[in-house]
Every structure is written in structure tokens, then in C-alpha cells.
């Protein structure tokens, strides 16, 4: 079992706990969390590592959470130059009825950032 010393930062502690449990690390899990929350992912049909399925660990059980029924905020946060290490935002694009293709150009992803695309 991983223990975090008082000298370890919160980020380093959580990162080591995630890796000890078989995950890639904090950055990967945090990106998946953002995709889950802003993508309003359902419980069923969601790829492994995304969504909030039911889980049991030790004596604790968590019920599944279906985010697909929640309302999305009407506007995403404008980040400007304030894109910090733990910042999330989203861009909601829709395809018009009857259309079968979609093209978007001009997307700029800052160095060191992750872009996750959720198609529903």
C-alpha cells in the first residue's frame, strides 16, 4: 500500500496512489474525469476508464451515476491565457439534422495540454 509522507505534495500523493492502483497517473485520470463530466457520459456504453460505473472497494460501495440526464451549462468557460495545469473546459458542437459529416478547423491545443473528443 502506498502512503504519502507529509513532504509529498497533494498532486504527487494522488499520482502515486493512482499508479499503485494500476492507473497511468493523475494527468490521464483527470483528463478522463473532464471528458466524463463535460461529455455527460451515461453509465452504459461508455469506454472503460470513463463514466461513473458502480464500484466496490473494501467495505465501501458506490452506486453508478448516469450523467447523460444532467443539463449541460449553456456556455463553456473562456480560458484566454489562464489555461492552468488542472483546467478543464469544453466546446459543444452539434451536427445539423440530416447531416452525416462534420469538419472543424482552427482548433489550437496549448503545449502540454490534452484534447479529448467525445462523440455522442
Longest dimension (CA), the chain: 57
Which residue from 40, 30, 24 is spatially nearest to 86, judged by alpha carbons? 30
Q: pLDDT digit string (tens) for 39-55?
A: 899 999 999 999 999 99
Q: Taking 70 as the threshold, does the pLDDT of residue 97 lie above it?
A: yes
Q: pLDDT digit string (tens) for 64-86?
A: 999 998 887 767 766 666 667 67
pTM (two decimals): 0.75
pLDDT given at position 58? 86
Q: Taking 70 as the threshold, does the pLDDT of residue 6 lie above it?
A: no
Amino acid at each position: 500500500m502506498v502512503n504519502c509522507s507529509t513532504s509529498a505534495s497533494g498532486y504527487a500523493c494522488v499520482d502515486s496512489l493512482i499508479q499503485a492502483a494500476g492507473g497511468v497517473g493523475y494527468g490521464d485520470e483527470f483528463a478522463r474525469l473532464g471528458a466524463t463530466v463535460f461529455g455527460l457520459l451515461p453509465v452504459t456504453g461508455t469506454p472503460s476508464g470513463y463514466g461513473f460505473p458502480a464500484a466496490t472497494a473494501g467495505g465501501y460501495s458506490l452506486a453508478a451515476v448516469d450523467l447523460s440526464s444532467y443539463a449541460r451549462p449553456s456556455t463553456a468557460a473562456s480560458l484566454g491565457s489562464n489555461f492552468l495545469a488542472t483546467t478543464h473546459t469544453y466546446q459543444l458542437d452539434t451536427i445539423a439534422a440530416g447531416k452525416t459529416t462534420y469538419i472543424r478547423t482552427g482548433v489550437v491545443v496549448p503545449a502540454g495540454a490534452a484534447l479529448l473528443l467525445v462523440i455522442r
